[in-house]
């Protein structure tokens, strides 16, 4: 028995019960192509231009401005504010099946763009959303041609089935999704701003090179910080697991959580692991954009074990603030110059030379109370960032749910 074709989405606004119409896209729009421009034509100033590559690097359903410019050529295709653009080439059929509404007049539409101008029976935002999701996206992917480079042609687009309600319902769907997208953009910018502020704080809360006080301090503290050797603050430990800790206590040094997917050959193998207690620091030698010589990570989650490949150091300080040291020991501005002198580089990793590391000097507060205030502030700031990131993730999940359920 043939599967019954859906005639309405799962989720609708109150008062809308009529079936959606199904027609070929060619009944709802006219088709053309962008032309005459590539990345080589870009300039610092000029007319705003939209190139197909932006649909992969910074994809948005609705385009109201661009950050790229070019000179206006005589045969340039310029937007009227109601165009839908779809890339005409891409790496995979799924990637290429996406559409954006050019909602602003006067934007040059570059080469390798399919241009769709809808009739008054369909709203451009609704059409862009519909073409980029669910069944219609799948239909687009099916008509893409090619292997290493995939192409979409207007002749293929014309034959794609489109499902749509009346224009009022289209507007409601477009408006709610546009509002959520705007809210997501605001939260993304907020998270980016908070991350930049944290970066600045990490620079200002710790002394710069050859200085003995940080740029920013609490009013009650004025004494110079003191220079200490790491060997006076930490000792290297090679305390092996005697069976006290099982596979549920294996800690990921890179991400600082208890692993849930540890595969071991037997209990004896866990005895090769090093014990990693709260306050201990471990060296992780992966080089990255943010950590050119690897990095230290402090255990802030609870006692456990780590692979024997990690060098573990235990604090010998009589009193110290856990949060403060977690930020200090992981601060590239402070630790980068120390690790240059105490690591050996290989292709992908750096190896710590423990005896050299313990000889290195570091500037630290001479007051536990100052440590505590700095650590508390930075931890609370991280909590604020995490709060906004959770809000952002919930908004993205809501948008995904609506896109899956408000379209056929």
Q: Which two tokens stand for residue 237?
A: 């430990």
Provide the pLDDT for residue 349.
85
Task: Please name which of 190, 182, 249, 221 lies closest in space to residue 366, comparing C-alpha atoms.
Answer: 221
Average pLDDT, the chain: 93
Residue 350 pLDDT > 60: yes
For the segment 2-16, the average pLDDT, to the nearest whole number, is 82
Q: Which two tokens stand for residue 370?
A: 């100052």
Provide the pLDDT for residue 1.
41
Pick the CATH number of 226-364 from 3.20.20.410, 3.90.220.20, 3.30.70.260, 3.40.190.10: 3.90.220.20
For the segment 73-78, the average pLDDT, to the nearest whole number, is 93
Look at 226-240, 275-289, 341-355 and tell me which has the smallest mean pLDDT. 341-355
Provide the pLDDT for residue 38.
86
For the segment 281-297, the average pLDDT, to the nearest whole number, is 93
The pTM assigned to this predicted structure is 0.85
Provide the pLDDT for residue 184.
96
Q: Give the pLDDT band (50/70/90) at residue 356.
A: very high
Residue 3 pLDDT > 80: no
Provide the pLDDT for residue 268.
83
Q: With respect to CATH, is domain 21-164 assigned 3.90.220.20?
A: yes
Q: What is the pLDDT of residues 373-397, one digit of tens each?
A: 999 999 999 999 999 999 999 999 9
Rounded to a whole number of angstroms, the CA Rg of the chain reads 29
Domain with CATH 3.90.220.20 in the chain: 21-164, 226-364
β-bridge partners, 12: none
* Percentage of residues in the chain having pLDDT higher than 90: 83
Q: Give the pLDDT band (50/70/90) at residue 210.
A: confident
């Amino acid at each position: 028995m043939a599967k019954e074709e859906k005639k309405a989405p799962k989720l609708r606004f109150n008062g809308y019960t009529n079936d959606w119409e199904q027609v070929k896209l060619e009944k709802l729009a006219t088709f053309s192509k962008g032309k005459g421009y590539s990345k080589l034509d870009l300039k610092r100033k000029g007319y705003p231009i939209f190139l197909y590559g932006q649909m992969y690097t910074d994809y948005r359903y609705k385009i109201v401005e661009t950050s790229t410019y070019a000179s206006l050529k005589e045969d340039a295709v310029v937007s009227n504010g109601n165009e839908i653009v779809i890339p005409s080439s891409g790496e995979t059929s799924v990637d290429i099946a996406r559409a954006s509404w050019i909602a602003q007049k006067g934007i040059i539409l570059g080469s390798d763009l399919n241009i769709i101008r809808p009739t008054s029976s369909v709203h451009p935002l609704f059409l862009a959303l519909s073409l980029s999701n669910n069944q219609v996206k799948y239909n687009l992917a099916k008509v893409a041609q090619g292997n290493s480079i995939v192409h979409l042609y207007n002749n293929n687009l014309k034959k794609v089935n489109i499902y749509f309600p009346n224009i009022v319902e289209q507007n409601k769907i477009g408006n709610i999704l546009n509002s959520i997208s705007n809210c997501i953009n605001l939260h993304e910018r907020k998270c980016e701003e908070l991350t930049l502020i944290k970066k600045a704080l990490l620079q200002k809360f710790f002394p710069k090179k050859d200085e003995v006080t940080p740029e920013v301090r609490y009013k009650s503290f004025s004494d110079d910080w003191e220079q200490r050797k790491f060997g006076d603050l930490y000792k290297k430990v090679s305390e092996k697991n005697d069976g006290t800790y099982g596979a549920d206590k294996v800690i990921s040094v890179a991400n600082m959580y208890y692993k849930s997917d540890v595969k071991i050959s037997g209990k004896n193998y866990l005895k090769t692991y090093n014990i990693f207690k709260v306050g201990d620091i471990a060296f992780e030698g992966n080089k990255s954009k943010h950590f050119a010589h690897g990095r230290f990570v402090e255990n802030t989650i609870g006692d456990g074990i780590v692979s024997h490949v990690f060098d573990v150091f235990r604090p010998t300080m009589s009193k110290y603030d856990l949060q403060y040291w977690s930020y200090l020991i992981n601060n590239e501005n402070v630790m980068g110059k120390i690790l240059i002198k105490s690591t050996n580089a290989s292709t992908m990793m750096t190896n710590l030379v423990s005896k050299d590391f313990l000889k290195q000097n570091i500037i630290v507060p001479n007051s536990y109370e100052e440590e505590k205030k700095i650590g508390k502030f930075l931890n609370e700031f991280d909590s604020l960032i995490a709060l906004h990131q959770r809000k952002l993730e919930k908004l993205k999940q809501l948008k995904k749910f609506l896109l899956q359920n408000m379209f056929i």
